[in-house]
Amino acid sequence: MAPDLSRSAVIRLLSLTEKEDQEALMKKAYAIKEKELGRNVFLRGLIELSNVCRKNCLYCGIRCGNEKVVRYSLSDEEVLKTIEIARQNRLTSLVIQAGEQTNEAFINRMTQLITRIKKVTQDDFRITLSLGEQTADTYRRWFEAGAQRYLLRIETSSEELYRKIHPADGLHDFNTRLNCLERIREIGYQTGTGVMIGLPFQTIENLADDLLFIKHQDIDMVGMGPYIEHTETPLFNDAATLMPLMDRFELSLRMIAVLRLLMPVINIASTTALQAIVPAGRELGLMAGANVLMPNLTPVHYQRNYRLYEHKPCLDKRAGEILDELSDKIKAIGESIVYDDYGDSAHYLMRINQPTSTPKNDYQRKSMSCSGDDRRR
């Protein structure tokens, strides 16, 4: 199947319902992943830095309007300790995710924290940020401090649907989000986006357009997963209109598979929301063409306060346990965790005209011989 599938072909694939047809789609997507990227899985440790958020997205459990949430922020020391655990487990990358904060104190804190991480890891680490909408200046400051990747889900590429799932208060604007994504890419980040799948009011056509949007934007990495309702959110009022969870799960696998057909060398994460519906959901995501997992390394006592959706898995497991279990699960499906490579998106490396893998040692050699260049980004 050609990477330039037509919109109607995408709609047809997303609409498959017969088990055999779906299996054939997964097989095809997996074969492309295997050919282009090998039977390899990249790990990124996830730190849920803070659930403080200025936004009020109608679907999200930690929206500022949810007064039941106990708010927290990890200290720098807690973040650095988590990074130490990640490195002890040979992880080469970390995603720092949080609610959206745009005040000067937060921006400065993050700039300093990124600088500190860069220093303690001797620049031998990749940092992904997922901290929502910021000004171009802030994105640039964090990039210059040493963050290399940024993940900002567009949530849906339909402006009309975007309006239905966000409050009309001037703070939740589709075009602002789109502009942010464009600034992130311009500044030089490996650029990530994604959508929620199975939202109220969402159609298969919307989802097909989401995949074509991702392709058109030439995105380097994608994290997309099923929408899972949260009782303490306004969108829960529309829960009766939702498709059953298992259908959302299967549709999410088809979304991953079709995206792999459209974009053979991007990084696609198999998200935790898949695991929230089916215990082996993330492994099935890998078999559908995903190649990245993001084990949650947030200290256990904070995790329960970072509930974007209900049924969030693994709320009682420590980082070491999670990583041990994951390694066994990945081996069991015939894939291997890549430990000696930063796992940069091959799509990004091709886009900036670099070799399509960045092995750690190789990179260290290169960076020693060309100090001052920003190849790492």
What are the residues whose beta carbons fall under 8 Å from the beta carbon of 323, sequence distance 6 or more?
Answer: 43, 89, 91, 295
Which of ligand SAH, ligand SF4, none binds 152 (CB below 5-8 Å, type-dependent)?
ligand SAH
Count of all residues that appear for the chain in the document? 377
Which whole-number Å values give the CA distances from 98 to 129, 155, 227, 271, in the listed order?
Answer: 9, 16, 18, 16
Question: Site residues for ligand SAH, window 37-76 (CB under 6 A)?
Answer: 53, 59-60
Cβ proximity to ligand SAH, 30 vs 59, nearer residue: 59
CB of residue 57 vs ligand SF4: minimum separation in angstroms? 3
Which whole-number Å values give the CA distances from 285 to 57, 109, 252, in the listed order?
Answer: 26, 35, 8
CB of residue 228 vs ligand SAH: minimum separation in angstroms? 4
Which token pair is 181?
A: 């994504």
- Options 46, 82, 92, 100; binder of ligand SAH; rule CB under 6 A: 100
Q: With contact defined as beta carbons under 8 Å apart, do 252 and 205 qualify?
A: no
Beta carbons within 10 angstroms of residue 296's beta carbon = 21
Q: Is 348 in the site for ligand SAH (CB under 6 A)?
A: no
Which token pair is 119?
A: 């220093």
Locus of tokens 């303690």: 120
Cβ proximity to ligand SAH, 89 vs 93, nearer residue: 93
- Options 14, 147, 180, 196; binder of ligand SAH; rule CB under 6 A: 196
Cβ proximity to ligand SAH, 39 vs 109, nearer residue: 109
What H or E segment, with its residue span, contains residue 77?
Answer: helix 76-88
Which of ligand SF4, ligand SAH, none binds 63 (CB below 5-8 Å, type-dependent)?
ligand SF4
Which of ligand SAH, ligand SF4, none binds 273 (CB below 5-8 Å, type-dependent)?
ligand SAH
Which of ligand SAH, ligand SF4, none binds 153 (CB below 5-8 Å, type-dependent)?
ligand SAH
Q: Is 152 in the site for ligand SAH (CB under 6 A)?
A: yes
Residues contacting ligand SAH: total by CB under 6 A: 18
What does the binding site for ligand SF4 look like in residue numbers (CB under 6 A)? 53, 55, 57, 60, 62-63, 99-100, 132, 308
- Options 228, 255, 257, 330; binder of ligand SAH; rule CB under 6 A: 228
CB of residue 326 vs ligand SAH: minimum separation in angstroms? 21
- The region, left, alpha or beta by phi > 0 then psi within -120 to 50, assigned to residue 174 is alpha
Which of ligand SAH, ligand SF4, none binds 253 (CB below 5-8 Å, type-dependent)?
none
Which token pair is 183?
A: 């600034």
Q: With contact defined as beta carbons under 8 Å apart, do 197 and 157 qualify?
A: no
- Options 94, 308, 326, 338; binder of ligand SAH; rule CB under 6 A: 308
What are the residues whose beta carbons fall under 8 Å from the beta carbon of 126, sequence distance 6 or more?
Answer: 44, 92, 93, 94, 148, 149, 342, 343, 344
Contact residues for ligand SAH, defined by CB under 6 A: 53, 59-60, 97, 99-100, 130, 132, 152-153, 155, 196, 227-228, 230, 273, 308-309
